[in-house]
Amino acid sequence: MLEAQDLTIGYGTTAIGSGLSLKVGTGGILCLLGPNGCGKTTLFRTLLGLLPPLSGSVLLGGTPITAQSRAEIARRIAYVPQAHAPPFPFEAIEVVLMGRTARLGAFGQPGRRDREIALSAMSRLGIADLATRDYSRLSGGQRQLVLIARALAQEAPLLVMDEPTASLDFGNQAQVLTQITTLARVAAEDGHGVILSTHDPDQTFALDAQVLLMKDGTTHATGRAQDVLTGETLSEVYGISVTVEKTASGRMVCLPSLGPQSTPTMTSEALTTA
């Protein structure tokens, strides 16, 4: 569905990352992991066709993404940005309806059917009651769910989420994460593909996803979560000592050691990129 081959990504003449290849097919979930500044966002923008690759190619549905119109891309990839406040107080349902744009004509307006699709997307995430609320006054977690609902209303086979839990508090994070986990599983079963960038390695275990572990703009490791995410690789990538443990309930969790014994491995470089 989406395939990137030997990408060099960056702005203008400045390369931020290189040698990046990935592939997401129907039913696949790919998690992008890596410290801040490793080029995740730039890679995302390139995969969405918002930024031309400096070299290499992004194939969407078999054709280069750069040769496709924005509407064609939007019918194939639905993008969930990090929650934000728009400058005007739109109703939540209006924000969700904006996901229908690529399905309307140039001068089209969303109609009754679009509204039904938007509302069912909201119901699916348990936020149908927010439909007529002012989006700009919702909590961060609610906004994030509205944006996910918008992506669902877009009805694209590929769902791309950029650190959907990054700016949320503990409770909202857990709530949104639960929704995403269920959604990604259901979406994958329906034959959708999902690309998710995250700061939380535990999440990739919960999703049993493919992982692309990035460091300094290159692929550090790639493969299934169980194989790739070991204490060793995580320690290398994040520059702190990490252990991966299995809880009594069988969940895999990644634990950075917070004790004083970890200080020697904490380099100033890791701090500046953190």
Q: Where along the sequence are the contacts to another protein (CB under 8 A)? A: 11-12, 45, 48, 50, 69-71, 73-75, 77, 79, 81, 86-91, 93-94, 98-99, 101-102, 104, 106-110, 112, 115-116, 119, 128, 131-132, 134, 136-137, 154
Q: Which is nearer to another protein, 5 or 90 (CB)?
A: 90
Least Å distance between CB 158 and another protein? 12
Least Å distance between CB 48 and another protein? 6
Q: Which is nearer to another protein, 15 or 104 (CB)?
A: 104
Closest CA to 212 of 44, 54, 96, 26: 44
Q: At 34, which amino acid appears? A: G
Phi-psi domain of 17 (left: phi exceeds 0; alpha: psi -120 through 50; beta: other): beta
Least Å distance between CB 252 and another protein? 32
Least Å distance between CB 57 and another protein? 19
Q: At 226, which amino acid appears? A: Q
Closest CA to 140 of 106, 174, 105: 174
Least Å distance between CB 69 and another protein? 7
Least Å distance between CB 249 and another protein? 37
User: What sign results for the dihedral spanned by CA atoms 166, 170, 172, 175?
Assistant: positive
The tally of CA atoms less than 13 A away on the side-chain side of residue 269 is 8
Helix (H, G, I), strand (E, B) or coil at 266: coil
Closest CA to 145 of 155, 135, 157: 135
Cα–Cα distances in angstroms (integers) from residue 71 to residues 78, 154, 192, 193, 218, in the given order = 11, 11, 19, 19, 30
Q: Which is nearer to another protein, 71 or 270 (CB)?
A: 71
Q: Which is nearer to another protein, 16 or 244 (CB)?
A: 16
DSSP one-letter string for 129-157: GGTTSBGGGS-HHHHHHHHHHHHHHTT-S
Q: Which is nearer to another protein, 120 or 178 (CB)?
A: 120
Q: Which is nearer to another protein, 89 or 256 (CB)?
A: 89
Least Å distance between CB 145 and another protein? 17
Q: Which is nearer to another protein, 106 or 248 (CB)?
A: 106
User: Is there a contact between 7 and 55 (Cβ–Cβ < 8 Å)?
Assistant: yes
Residues 135 and 143: their CA atoms lie apart, in Å, by: 7
Least Å distance between CB 223 and another protein? 29
Q: Which is nearer to another protein, 45 or 185 (CB)?
A: 45
Strand 55-60 to 63-64 pairing:
antiparallel
